[in-house]
Structure 1
Amino acid sequence: MNGLYNGTSIKSHRARIPAYINIGIDSIEQSTPFVYLFVLPGMFQEILLYDKVRVEIQTYCHREYSRVLVVSVEVERMGSSKEDLTVKLKTSPGLISEDIRFKLIKCVDRVCSKTGETMEAEYPDSKPTIPVSIVYDEISDIVLTSNIHVLTVYYFMSCGVSIGETNRSYDRAIKAFEAGTLVEDHVKAWEELWNNGRIDVEGNRNLSTSIYSSLYYLLSSVPSHPDQYNWPFMGMSPTGLAHGVDEDVDYAGHVFWDQDTWMFPSIMLLHSTIGKILVQSRLDKLTTARLLAKYRGLPGAVFPWESAYTGLPTSNCPNCSRYEIHISADVSLALRQYLFLTNDSDFLEHGGTDTLMDLATFWAARVTLNPDTKLYEIHEVMGPDEWHFPVNNSAYTNTAARLAIETGVTAMIRRGQSPPSHWTDIINNMYIPLDNQYQYHPEYDRYSRGTNVKQADVILLGYPLMDKTLTKDVQENDLNYYAQVTPRGPAMTWSMFAINFLEVGNSTLAEKYFIKQSDNILPPFNVWTENADGSGAVNFHTGMGGYLQSILFGYGGIRVLEDRLNFDPQLMSSVASWNITGLDYGGNSFDMKFDRENMFITLTKSQHPVAVYLYHTQAQEQCFPHKTLSYPRQKAAFKLLPVIEIV
Structure 2
Amino acid sequence: MFLEKRSGNEWIVCEEKVEKEKLGYWETLFTLGNGYLGSRGALEERIEHSGTYLAGIYDNERIVNSPNPICLDIWVEGSKLDIDQVLEHKRALDMRRGLLLRHTVFKQNKRRFDYRSKRFFSPVNRHLGGILATFKSLDKDVEVVVRSKIEGKGKKDLFGRPLNQYFITEVGEKGGLLYLVANTSELGIELCFATSLEILDGDKPVGTLSFSFDSETSVAEVRFIAKKGKSYRINKLISVFTSKDTKSVKRVCLGALGNRKPSSLLRSHQDAWKRKWNNFDIEVKGDKDVQRSIRFCLYHLLIAAPPKRIDTSIAPNTLTGDTYQGHIFWDTEIYMLPFFIYSWPSKAKDLILYRYKRLGNARLAAKERRYAGSLWPWESAQDGREATPDWWVNFDGSKMKVWTKEREHHISGDLVYAIALYYQFTKDEKFILEQGAEIVFETARFWASRVTRNAKSKKYEIRDVIGPNEFQKKVDNNFYTNFLAGWVLKYAHTLFHFIKQKHPSKFEAIVEKIGLSDREPKRWKEISERLKLNISSSGLIEEFDEYFKRKDVVIKERNESGMPLWPAGVRLEDVGKTQLVKQADVVLGLCLFSNEFSLQAKKINFEYYEPRTIHKSSLSIPTYALIAIEIGEIEKAYRYLQLLANSDLSNLFGNTSRGIHGASLGGTWQVVVRGFGGVKSKEEKLSINPSLPRAWQKLKFRFWWHGHNFEIAISKEKVSVFLRTKTKDVRLPIEIYNHTYYIKSGETLTIER
TM-score bracket for this pair, using the shorter chain length:
0.7 to 0.9
Query: Of residues 515, 523, 526 in structure 2, which corresponds to 1:425?
Result: 526
Contact 1:377 1:431 in 2 (8 A): yes
Q: What pairs with 1:509-548 in structure 2 (closer than 5 Å)?
A: 509-517=636-644, 520-522=647-649, 531=653, 533-534=654-655, 538-548=659-669
1:591-602 alignment to 2 at 5 Å?
591-602=711-722
Aligned to 2:120: 60
TM-aligned CA distance change 1:239 to 1:620, over 3 Å: same
Residues 117-164 of structure 1, C-alpha deviation per residue, up to 9 Å, x if partnerless? 3223xxxxxxx4534333334532364777975434132131322453
For residue 176 of structure 1, report the CA deviation from its aligned partner: 4.9
> In the alignment, residue 429 of structure 1 is paired with which amino acid?
R
> 1:104 and 1:63, CA in 2 relative to 1: closer, same or farther beyond 3 A?
same
* Residues 21, 139 of structure 1: 8 Å contact kept: no
Partner of 2:133: 73
Q: 2:99 aligns with which of 33, 43, 49?
A: 43
Equivalent residues of 1:144, 1:151 under 8 A apart:
no
CA deviation profile, 1:261-291 (whole Å, cap 9, x unmatched):
1111123212222222211211121111111
The letter for the 2-side match of 1:219 is: L
For 1:214-613, list aligned pairs within 5 A. Answer: 214-223=297-306, 225-227=307-309, 231-232=310-311, 234-244=312-322, 250-317=323-390, 318-416=402-500, 417=507, 420-436=521-537, 439-448=539-548, 450=552, 451-466=579-594, 468=596, 470-517=597-644, 520-522=647-649, 531=653, 533-534=654-655, 538-561=659-682, 563-580=684-701, 582-607=702-727, 609-613=730-734
Q: In 2, distance between residues paired with 1:511 and 1:49?
A: 40
Map 1:138-217; keep pairs closer than 5 Å. 138-141=219-222, 143=224, 149-161=231-243, 162=246, 164=248, 167-168=251-252, 171-172=255-256, 174=258, 176-177=260-261, 181-217=264-300
Contact persistence 1:612–1:623 (CA under 8 A) = no
Q: 1:163 to 1:21 in 2, by over 3 A?
A: farther
CA apart distance, 1:374: 2.9
Find the aligned partners of 1:397 and 1:578 in 2 and give their Cα distance: 35
Q: CA distance change for structure 1 residues 467 and 295 in 2, over 3 Å: closer, same or farther? A: farther
**2:137/2:226 contact within 8 Å kept:** no
Is 1:25 the counterpart of 2:83? The answer is no
| 2:154 is the counterpart of 1:108 | no
Q: CA offset at residue 391 of structure 1?
A: 0.9
Deviation at 1:94, TM superposition (A): 6.7
Distance 1:302 1:139, change over 3 A: same
Structure-2 separation of matches of 1:136 and 1:414: 56
Query: Separation in 2 of the partners of 1:354 and 1:378?
Result: 23
Cα 1:593/1:144, change in 2 over 3 Å: farther
Mapped to 2, the partners of 1:194 and 1:541 lie a distance apart of 19
Alignment deviations for residues 321-345 of structure 1 (CA, whole Å, 9 cap, x no partner): 0000100111111111111111112
Which structure's residues are more often strand, by fraction? 2
Shift of 1:593: 0.6
Give 3-state SS (helix, strand or coil) of 1:426's partner: helix
Hey, what does 1:644 align to over in structure 2?
none
1:548-568 CA distance string (max 9 Å, x none): 211112112233446233221
Q: How far 1:442 moved relative to its partner?
A: 0.8
**SS of the residue 1:140 aligns to:** strand
Work out whether residues 65 and 173 of structure 1, in 8 Å CA contact, stay in contact via their aligned partners in 2.
Answer: no
**Distance in 2 between the 1:175 and 1:88 partners?**
21
How many Å apart are 1:255 and its aligned residue? Answer: 0.6
Could you tell me how far apart the structure 1 residues matched to 2:267 and 2:751 are? 40
SS at structure 1 position matched to 2:324: helix
CA distance in 1, matches of 2:226, 2:276: 40
1:197-256 deviations in Å (ceiling 9; x for gaps) = 221101111101100001111211113x412xxx42x11111111311xxxxx2111110
User: C-alpha distance in 2, partners of 1:171/1:560?
Assistant: 48
Measure, in 2, the Cα distance between the counterparts of 1:190 and 1:382: 42
Q: Is the 8 A contact 1:135 1:167 kept in 2?
A: no
Correspondence for 1:16? 65
CA contact (8 A) 2:294 2:645 kept: no
Is contact 1:490–1:543 with CA below 8 Å preserved after alignment? Answer: no
Sort the Cα spacing of 1:340 and 1:488 in 2 relative to 1 into closer, same or farther, 3 A.
closer
For 2:674 and 2:272, locate their aligned partners in 1 and report how far apart those are by CA, in whole Å.
27
Q: Distance in 1 between matches of 2:267 and 2:88?
A: 29
Secondary structure, aligned partner of 1:408: helix
Identity score, percent: 22
Match of residue 630 from structure 1:
750
Q: Which amino acid aligns with 2:287?
A: N
In structure 1, stretches of 5+ residues that fail to align are: 121-127, 245-249, 634-647
Instruction: Find the residue that maps to 2:409 and give its secondary structure.
Output: coil
Contact 1:379/1:393, CA 8 A, preserved across alignment = yes
Residue 614 (structure 1) shift = 3.3
Distance 1:242 1:512 in 2: 27
Measure the CA separation in 1 of the matches of 2:456 and 2:417.
31
Distance in 1 (alpha carbons) for counterparts of 2:88 and 2:149: 19
State which drifts further: 189-198 or 48-57: 48-57
| Alignment: residue pair count | 599
Contact 1:293/1:362 (<8 A) preserved: yes
Listed one character per residue, the Cα deviations across residues 86-116 of structure 1 (whole Å, up to 9, x for unaligned) are: 3534648373352112334442133244444
Find the aligned partners of 1:132 and 1:562 in 2 and give their Cα distance.
49
Deviations 1:315-366 (A, max 9, x none): 1144110000100111111111111111112212332211121111111221
| Equivalent AA in structure 2 for residue 622 of structure 1 | I
Please say if residues 189 and 242 of structure 2, whose CA atoms lie closer than 8 Å, have aligned partners that are also in contact. Answer: no
Aligned AA (2:679): I
In structure 2, runs of 5+ residues without a counterpart are: 1-53, 156-163, 197-218, 391-401, 501-506, 508-517, 553-578
Q: Would the alpha carbon gap of residues 414 and 143 (structure 1) be closer, same or farther in structure 2, given more than 3 Å must change?
A: farther
CA distance in 2, matches of 1:592, 1:615: 11
What is the distance in 2 between the residues matched to 1:174 and 1:535? 38
Alpha carbons of structure 1 residues 346 and 488: separation in structure 2 relative to 1, 3 Å: closer
Contact conserved, 1:65 with 1:169, CA < 8 A, in 2? no
Q: Compared with structure 1, are the counterparts of its residues 509 and 52 closer, same or farther at alpha carbon in structure 2 (3 Å cutoff)?
A: closer
**Is the 1:76–1:149 Cα contact (8 Å) retained in structure 2?**
yes
1:130 and 2:214 matched: no
Decide whether the 8 Å contact of 1:68 with 1:170 is kept in 2: no
CA deviation after TM superposition for structure 1 residue 170, in Å: 5.4
Match of 1:642 in 2: none
